[in-house]
């Protein structure tokens, strides 16, 4: 980025604001563009405190304030969208008709997401060698984490439904992955199906909300649900929880 060519010791708010504008034009969302300022602020504070470099972290704070007023950045919006039973059935019917002609078995991928709470990128990275039938578990390699993604391999529990879907996938010689597909192609196929069926404002990632909510509706406790979803705190987990009172199991 052009920002990289500037002298950090002479940094002002103007190029930071220009950087955020450029990021937004490239397609970055307001929260993603705001993260750039957060990262830059962290680096400048470390440069000042640890190395004693003559930099000014305050310019990042000033730029952040200006970008908020210009509505260039904002916090990520909490989504509460869950697919309805009818929408899932329509998607199931649609993928059932098309999967015979498609390279990606989207019906199984969709339901695996619903029953496993895995992101599409995690589904497409899942290895046969990391799945244990005895424990009914799998491993998410390089699990999403704000600080430690690479090497952050974490074991997750699977529901009986998720394991059944995994177990019926064909094992292709020389292919270590259970679902050997491009995650972007999976997301695109799901978006295309929703558009064809007239299902509005539904994303593949919303299936993770559906999976998390279903686990609570079954009667699992917070610490138990986290074994499936791999959330590290209730604050993270509750963002994915939108319960339907009529669906909560009678304890």
Q: What end-to-end distance do the CA atoms of the chain give, in Å?
A: 56
221 three-state secondary structure: coil
Tens digit of each residue's pLDDT (9 = 90 or more) over 199-219: 999 999 999 999 999 998 888
Task: Say what the pLDDT of residue 219 is.
Answer: 87
CATH architecture assigned to 85-247: Orthogonal Bundle (1.10)
Q: Of 13-17, 39-43, 142-146, 224-228, which range is least confident?
A: 142-146
Q: Which positions ≥6 away from 248 have C-beta within 8 Å? A: 216, 217, 219
Confidence category of residue 145, pLDDT binned at 50, 70, 90: low
Q: Which positions ≥6 away from 62 have C-beta within 8 Å? A: 13
8 Å CB contact between 73 and 31? yes
Confidence category of residue 13, pLDDT binned at 50, 70, 90: very high
Confidence category of residue 28, pLDDT binned at 50, 70, 90: confident
Parts of the chain belonging to CATH 1.10.443.10: 85-247
For residue 149, pLDDT over 60 is answered with no
Confidence category of residue 162, pLDDT binned at 50, 70, 90: very high
For residue 50, pLDDT over 90 is answered with yes
Confidence category of residue 118, pLDDT binned at 50, 70, 90: very high
């Amino acid at each position: 980025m052009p920002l990289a060519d500037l002298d950090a010791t002479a940094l002002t708010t103007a190029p930071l604001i220009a950087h955020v504008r450029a990021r937004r034009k490239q397609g970055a969302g307001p929260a993603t563009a705001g993260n750039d300022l957060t990262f830059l602020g962290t680096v400048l504070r470390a440069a000042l405190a640890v190395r004693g470099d003559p930099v000014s972290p305050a310019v990042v704070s000033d730029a952040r304030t200006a970008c908020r007023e210009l509505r260039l950045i904002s916090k990520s919006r909490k989504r509460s969208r869950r697919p309805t039973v009818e929408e899932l059935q329509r998607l199931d019917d649609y993928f059932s008709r098309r999967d015979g002609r498609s390279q990606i078995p989207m019906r199984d991928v969709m339901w695996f997401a619903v029953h496993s709470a895995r992101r599409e990128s995690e589904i497409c990275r899942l290895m046969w060698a990391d799945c244990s039938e005895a424990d009914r578990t799998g491993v998410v390699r390089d699990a999403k984490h704000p600080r430690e993604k690479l090497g952050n391999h974490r074991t997750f529990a699977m529901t009986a439904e998720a394991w059944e879907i995994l177990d019926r996938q064909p094992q292709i010689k020389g292919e270590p992955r259970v679902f050997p597909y491009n995650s972007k192609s999976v997301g695109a196929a799901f978006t295309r199906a929703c558009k064809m069926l007239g299902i509005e404002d539904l994303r593949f990632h919303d299936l993770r909300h559906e999976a998390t909510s279903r686990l609570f509706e079954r009667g699992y406790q917070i610490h138990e649900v986290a074994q499936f979803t791999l959330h590290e705190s209730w604050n993270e987990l509750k963002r994915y929880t939108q319960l339907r009172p009529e669906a909560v199991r009678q304890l």
